[in-house]
Amino acid sequence: MTLDELGTGVPRWAEAEVGPVLVDAGRLAVRVNELGAQITADYADDPPLLVAVLKGAMLFMSDLCRAIALPVDVDFMAVSSYGSATKTSGVVRIVKDLDAELDGRHVLVVEDIIDSGLTLNYLRRYLHAREPKSVEVCALLVKEGEQRVELDLRYVGFTIPPEFVVGYGLDVAERYRNLSGVHVYRGPGPWQ
């Protein structure tokens, strides 16, 4: 058995660092399908280019694009404002840029989590400069009360408490992305 005996949904290998599940795999699947249906309806006449922000949004993007019943294109960007820390540095770097042209296209940015909103704010301005038809955001998670800028998020999966979380693509120092649910991160494990 890979889960602990208390039923918290935490695999034994992560027990020392990861708390109980905040959003389990079942709730994630239901909400991703709901978001996919909503996006399908909203973009029925002009499918968007889905832009995943790597690496955290990779699992969400994979599930979301399969839940959209349209011929969507996908592309990926990598931005960094955390490094291996659990707090944003406030400095945004584009590590990998898009391959696709945005001119005249609807763009839907697929984000794993929004906390301060500073990275997303920067990313939106950057994408708007390429003259797309529109730029909207689909965020899996939004941390309650953490935003430092006003955000207009068209699609939101879940609003969560202001905790550092891991799982379902989210990490700390590249660990825990493969947890099937979203968990509160307790702190450094024996590997640090």
Active-site residue, from 63, 112, 115, 171: 115
3: how many CB neighbours lie within 10 A of its CB? 13
Residue bearing tokens 């707090």:
87
Length of the chain: 192
Structure token pair of residue 6: 């208390």
Q: Is 152 annotated in the active site? A: no
Alpha carbon distance 86, 25 (integer Å): 23
Q: Is 192 exposed, middle or buried (0-12, 13-18, 19+ CB in 10 A)?
A: exposed
Whether the Cβ atoms of residue 100 and residue 75 lie closer than 8 Å to each other:
yes
Question: HSE of 142 in the Cβ direction (CA atoms, 13 Å)?
Answer: 21
Q: Which residues are catalytic?
A: 115
